[in-house]
């Protein structure tokens, strides 16, 4: 474990699902309802450092998160990102995007384009936990 890695030192969000390879968390960001991360459970910084089986597995899990978010939230677009420049620990951002979000159509890390009401979907945590458990049997 790394001494300075947020994903080694904490769950990284509200835990939705996990297995031995990785976990799925809901990110606490009121501007981005449904923003999830798929976080590797081991401190490894590059996808090509994983075995082929683990690479394929984490990608399939990431795609499943995307599909569940599409089904539940029906966003305009889903953004997938794996940067890791500040946190060199394999993790994928799965971000539902809506035309009225504060940055759309720009990246969520860009300058704010508009002000918007914070979205809140009652029961989203429980809905996502159930849908992911069903999809990732």
Per-residue pLDDT tens for 85-135? 889 999 999 999 999 899 889 888 888 888 876 666 778 999 999 999 999
CA atoms within 13 A on the CB side of 105: 2
61: nearest Cα among 126, 130, 135 = 135
Element (H, E) at 93: strand 91-97
Write down how long the chain is. Answer: 137
**Domain 6-135 class?**
alpha beta
Per-residue pLDDT tens for 3-32?
689 999 999 999 999 999 999 999 988 889
pTM for the predicted model, two decimal places = 0.90
82: nearest Cα among 42, 20, 40, 53 = 40
Q: Please tell me the distance from the alpha carbon of residue 75 to that of residue 1, in angstroms, as a whole number.
A: 36
**Domain residue spans of the chain:** 6-135
């Amino acid at each position: 474990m790394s001494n300075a890695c947020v994903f080694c030192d904490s769950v990284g969000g509200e835990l939705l699902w996990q297995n031995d390879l990785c976990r799925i968390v809901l990110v606490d960001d009121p501007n981005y309802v449904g923003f999830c991360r798929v976080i590797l459970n081991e401190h490894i910084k590059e996808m090509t450092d994983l075995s082929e089986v683990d690479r394929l597995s984490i990608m399939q899990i990431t795609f499943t998160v995307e599909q569940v978010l599409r089904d539940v939230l029906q966003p305009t677009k889903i953004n997938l990102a794996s940067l890791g420049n500040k946190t060199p620990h394999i993790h994928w951002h799965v971000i539902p995007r809506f035309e009225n979000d504060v940055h759309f159509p720009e990246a969520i890390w860009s300058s704010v384009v508009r002000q918007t009401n914070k979205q809140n979907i009652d029961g989203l945590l429980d809905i996502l936990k159930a849908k992911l458990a069903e999809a990732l049997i």
